Amino acid sequence: MKGIALALGAALILSAPAAASNWVHIGNGSAGTRVFVDTASISGTFPLFRVWVQYIGGANPPPMASEKDYMLLNCTARTTSTISWITYRVNGTVIKSGTIPESIIGFQAEPAAPDTIADMILTKACNGLAL
C-alpha cells in the first residue's frame, strides 16, 4: 500500500507543470548591459517584492557572460538588496554563486541612485507594470 502511495505521489509530482520563467527586457545599462526581469518570479506585496533579475553582456569581459540576482525591492524606501546571485560563463557553466544570510539582508539595502539599473528595476516594478 505504501508503495502504491509513493508511486502515485511521484507520478503527480512528475506530471505537475514546471514553473516557467518569463524574462522581460526592461532596458540597458550605460555599459551596454541588457537587463531582464523574470515576471514569473515576482512575489510579495507592496512595498516589498522579491524578483529575479538577469544582466547579460556589457563591460564585463569574458569569462563572465551573465549574472542572475534574486533581489528584495523596497518600493517605499527605493532600495534594493541582493538575496542571492549566480554568475555564468559564455558556455553557460556557473562561475560562482552565493546567498546573503536572511538576518542581514535588510542591513545591506542600497539606495537606488537616479538613472541607474537599480532605479530602472525599482521604477518598473513599483509602478505596477506587472513585474
pLDDT tens column, 47-64: 998 999 999 987 756 556
Q: What percent of the chain has pLDDT over 70?
A: 77
Task: Show me where the domains of the chain are located.
Answer: 21-126
Q: What is the mean pLDDT of residues 2-21?
A: 46
Whether the pLDDT of residue 131 is over 70: the answer is no
Cα separation of 110 and 92, whole Å? 29
Do residues 57 and 65 touch, judged by C-beta distance below 8 A? yes
CATH value of 21-126 in 1.20.1730.10, 2.40.128.710, 3.30.1490.20, 2.102.10.10:
2.40.128.710
Q: Is this model's pTM higher than 0.85 or not?
A: no
φ, ψ for residue 56, nearest 5 deg: -125, 130
Inter-CA distances, 7 with 17, 93, 116, Å: 18, 34, 51
pLDDT tens column, 65-85: 899 999 999 999 999 999 999
